[in-house]
């Protein structure tokens, strides 16, 4: 989400600045906006949607005006971007042992579309890992994350707690748990025949 600035800037006599005066907005040493002070009012939107949560230094570099009335000036400020809160829901389909378990995660934050951060999954509080032992992380896109996990042999039939944990530079950590039934495989016998010798 962007940050808004709306301030009145006066001269040393206490009067609002006259006319239109160019201003460069610099955040942590990077120029991100060129705007204008109009009749002493600096009112604009600072693009911060790509900045992770944290504290930033902000400079407003006021440039010379067209009439040469004012000296250049740098105004400094702090910008504190705090993490947002999201609501997480998780669903897991019923499946059978040794098959694929589909886990679907949805994140909601008012009217925001979430395209950042990752979801880590747990089965009965044990982190789901890949073949190299690393936690499987699924990137969130358009408020969604899905894991299709092939169940290993050690996960037998029964009811399991499926937990999804979301972490992001822009959002507070959030998790939720659902339950999932994993069914056993049926045993099939086709045309079993037994031949033995009769007793003498």
Successive 10-residue mean pLDDT values, the chain, 200 residues: 83 91 94 93 87 92 88 92 95 95 96 93 96 96 97 95 96 97 88 72
Q: How far is CA 44 from CA 4, 61, 80, 167, in A?
A: 6, 14, 17, 31
pLDDT of residue 1: 63
What are the pLDDT digits (tens) for 12-70? 999 999 999 999 999 999 999 999 999 999 999 988 877 888 999 999 999 988 888 99
B/e letters for 5-25, b = 16+ CB within 10 Å, e = fewer, are beeebeeeeeeebeeebebeb
pTM for the structure as a whole: 0.75
Query: Within 10 Å of residue 149's Cβ, how many Cβ atoms?
Result: 19
DSSP-assigned letters across all residues of 44-72: EEE--TTSPSEEEEEEEEEPPPTTS-S--
Phi-psi bin for 157: left (phi > 0), alpha (psi -120 to 50), beta? beta
């Amino acid at each position: 989400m962007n940050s808004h600035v709306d301030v009145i800037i006066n001269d040393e006599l206490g009067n609002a600045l006259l006319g239109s005066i160019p201003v460069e907005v610099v955040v942590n040493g990077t120029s991100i906006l060129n705007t204008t002070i109009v009749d002493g009012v600096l009112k604009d939107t600072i693009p911060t949607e790509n900045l992770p949560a944290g504290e930033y230094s902000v400079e407003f570099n006021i440039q010379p005006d067209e009439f040469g009335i004012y000296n250049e000036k740098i105004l400094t400020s702090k910008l504190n971007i705090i993490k947002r809160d999201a609501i997480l829901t998780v669903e897991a389909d019923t499946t059978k042992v040794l098959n694929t378990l589909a886990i679907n995660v949805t994140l909601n934050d008012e009217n925001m579309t979430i395209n950042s951060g990752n979801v880590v999954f747990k089965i009965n509080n044990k982190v789901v890992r890949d073949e190299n032992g690393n936690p499987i992380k699924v990137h969130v896109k358009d408020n969604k994350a899905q894991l299709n996990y092939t169940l290993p042999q050690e996960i037998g039939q029964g009811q399991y707690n499926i937990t999804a944990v979301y972490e992001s530079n822009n959002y507070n950590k959030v998790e939720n748990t659902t339950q999932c039934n994993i069914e056993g495989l049926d045993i099939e016998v086709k045309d079993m025949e037994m031949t033995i010798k009769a007793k003498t």
